[in-house]
Amino acid sequence: MRAVHYHEYGGVETLVVEQVPEPHPGPGEIRVRVAAAGVNPVDWKVRAGTVRELLPLDLPAIPGRDAVGVVDEIGEGVQGVRVGDRVFGLGGVTGATAELAVLSAWAPAPSTWTDEEAAGAGLASVTAMGGLKALGPLRGRTLLVEGAAGGVGSAAVEIAVARGATVIGTASERNHEFVTSLGAVPTTYGTGLAERLATLAPNGVDIALDTAASGSLADLVAIVGDPARVSTIADHTNAQHLNVRVVNAENDSTLLAEAGELGLQGRYTPRIERAYPLEQIAAAHAYAERGHTQGKIVIRI
């Protein structure tokens, strides 16, 4: 099969498209013929080798953590899915940016989503949902999403709005219209955030989800008044000393199914900023590495 491959840690120049052996699903897994795969920050962090102690790889590796496709092989013990079903989901830390990929968590891809949208839903939705669940009930509460325009942030905004929260989202000014289109009130991040929020939410902000790791976690705790009402998916360093809960993505088919259900209802649609063909994987990684993605970057296979 054709796949993106890298044989050593390094920059985007390490990414090549070549023939590699086909993977097969183990027990509890499925294989899909991939229509599109997501690009997530973890892909380029792993490729660059900066997180190799935490997430060591057997090189060569295929980048990509999530994908959408049609099921073509089913592993031992798997029930509730058939060859030919269109599903989106998550595999290991690597392996998705290829013609065939093994998934260990999946859900039916809603007919309301294009392949590109479904490819952008896997890691972003489970991470957003995990981060939101850590904050307790959403209905009737005012939520601040730090980094609301990114892949996880944009998913969190739509899902929280669907769950009845009033959402304020931080983003750079060029993304304010985008954040408004997701259902949140936009504001800029950085100096003066507490003052801007005092105007936007005179009754206060109840809970906050950090997706940016911009060093603002202490400010978010001060804004909501209690570290138990803040969660982060990105700032492991500051979370520890501030006593803020860190949420890591889990390969959880139930969360994916919840996201798909919201998709069917038209209440969550992953926003795709750019879709690249497989051959342009280096450009896709380079764009994602800038750290100012609006929604998601995906690869068409």
Instruction: Write out the residues near ligand NAP by the rule CB under 6 A.
Output: 40-42, 123, 127, 146-147, 149-153, 170-172, 175, 189, 211-214, 233-234, 248-249, 291-293
Residue 271: CB minimum distance to ligand NAP, A: 10
Residue 179: CB minimum distance to ligand NAP, A: 8
Point out the residue whose Cβ comes nearest to ligand NAP: 150
Q: Within a 13 Å sphere around the CA of 78, how many CA atoms are in the beta-carbon half? A: 23
Residue 28, classified by CB atoms within 10 Å of its CB into exposed (0-12), middle (13-18) or buried (19+), is exposed
Looking up tokens 């080798």, which residue turns up? Answer: 49
Nearer to ligand NAP (CB atom), residue 15 or residue 249: 249
Residue 256: CB minimum distance to ligand NAP, A: 14
Residue 140: CB minimum distance to ligand NAP, A: 25
Nearer to ligand NAP (CB atom), residue 7 or residue 174: 174
Nearer to ligand NAP (CB atom), residue 114 or residue 214: 214
**Residue 214 — φ and ψ, nearest 5°?**
-95, 5
Nearer to ligand NAP (CB atom), residue 56 or residue 291: 291
Nearer to ligand NAP (CB atom), residue 36 or residue 100: 36
Q: Could you count the other beta carbons within 10 Å of the beta carbon of residue 298? A: 32
Helix, strand, coil shares of the chain as percentages rounded to 5?
35, 25, 40
Coil, helix or strand at residue 210 = strand
Note whether 32 and 101 are within 8 A (CB): yes
